[in-house]
Amino acid sequence: MSVDFGKVAVLFGGNSAEREVSLRSGKAVLSALLRQGVNAYAFDPKFDDITGLKKLNFDRAFIVLHGRGGEDGVIQGFLTTLNIPYTGSDVLSSAIAMDKSKTKQIWQSLQLPTAPYQIIEKDTFNSRQAEDILKKLSGTVMVKPVNEGSSIGMAKVSNAGALIDALNEAFKFDNKVLLETWITGQEYTVSMLNGKALPAIRMQTNNAFYDYQAKYQSNDTQYHCPCGLEQDKLEQLNQLASDAFAAVGCSGWGRVDFMLDQSGQWYLLEVNTVPGMTETSLVPKAAKQAGYDFDQLVIEILKQTL
C-alpha cells in the first residue's frame, strides 16, 4: 500500500431497515481494505459506541451504512464534529439526497426531468382521497417511503384499494410517502466516482419493477454494461447524471438512478450517496467496466478522505 491511511474505521450495519445489505457491503469493503494492507477495523454503530471513535484513534472513516443514520447526514455530522475525515457526500447533501421529496424539488427548480408526484403524510391522509390521487397521477403510481432505500416499502399500484394498502405498508417505514406517476420503460443507473460518470448499467427484471427481491435475491435479474445506448443518448444520460448529482451537492462517489420511457424521455428517480458495495453491486459492476477491480475501487473511494 503506497498510501498510509492510518487507522480506518469501516462503518457498517447500523439500525436502519437496510442493515442486512449494509452488513454485506461493509464486510466486502473491509476485506478489500485488509487485502490492500490498510489498517482497517469493523465498526457497527448498533453495538459499538460511536463516541469512542476519537478515543480509539481512528484517522478516517469509510461509511458503508445504508439508510437512516448512515446515509442521511447524521453520521456525517457526527464525524465532522469529531474532525474525522469520511468517504462520500457531506452533511447537507447526504440529508437532501436521503429525502426523495426534497431531491425532486431541487431537480424541478433546475428543470431537470423527474416524474409528476405527490407527497402523502400519514397524519393527514384520508382513504377517500385515493381515487382522486390516482387520477391526478395518470392512473398507475409508484409508492415510495420518502426516506428509505433498497426499494423497501415500495409498490406499484393502479386502483384505490391497492393504493390504500400500499400506503399503509409504506407508512410502517416512514410518515411521509412519495407517489410518482408510473413510467413504462427501461431502468438505468449511473455510478459517479471523483466527479466522473462510470459506464451506465441497464437493469432488466421479470418483476413489476427493480424491487428488493430483484436487487438482492433473484438469480434472474440481468445487468447490461455496456448498456446498449447510442452514443448521443449515452452522453445525454451521463450529463444528466452529473447535473443531478451536482444539483444536490453530492461529492466523492454515489449513484444516480433513471427511467427511460417509451418515447425516449429520461426521468430522474433518486440519488444514492452510499450505494451497495457487495462485490456484485451496481457501483462495482460499473467500476469493473471502467477498469477498476473491487479493491482498486475501494481504495479510490478511501483516497477521497485524504
Beta carbons within 10 angstroms of residue 246's beta carbon: 14
In the set 89, 94, 257, 267, the catalytic residue is: 257
Q: Is 20 a catalytic residue?
A: no
Q: Is 255 a catalytic residue?
A: yes
- Residue 207, SS3 per DSSP: coil
Report residue 228: phi and psi, to 5°. 90, 5
Q: Residue 188 forms beta bridges with which residues?
A: 202, 258
d(CA 70, CA 107): 23
Q: Residue 202 forms beta bridges with which residues?
A: 188, 224
Q: Is 270 a catalytic residue?
A: yes
In the set 19, 60, 202, 255, the catalytic residue is: 255
In the set 150, 151, 238, 281, the catalytic residue is: 150
Find out whether 9 and 143 touch, Cβ atoms under 8 Å: no
Burial (CB count within 10 angstroms: exposed 0-12, middle 13-18, buried 19+), residue 79: buried
Burial (CB count within 10 angstroms: exposed 0-12, middle 13-18, buried 19+), residue 219: exposed
Comparing CA positions, the residue from 251, 288, 298, 285 lying closest to residue 271 is 251
Q: Is 276 a catalytic residue?
A: yes
In the set 26, 67, 73, 276, the catalytic residue is: 276
In the set 94, 270, 281, 292, the catalytic residue is: 270
In the set 90, 216, 223, 300, the catalytic residue is: 216
Residue 76 is placed in which grid cell?
456525517
d(CA 220, CA 202): 14
Q: Is 18 a catalytic residue?
A: yes
CA-only gyration radius of the chain, Å: 19
In the set 13, 16, 18, 202, the catalytic residue is: 18
Find out whether 15 and 47 touch, Cβ atoms under 8 Å: no
Q: Is 272 a catalytic residue?
A: yes
Find out whether 125 and 178 touch, Cβ atoms under 8 Å: no
Give the residue numbers marked as catalytic: 18, 150, 216, 255, 257, 270, 272, 276
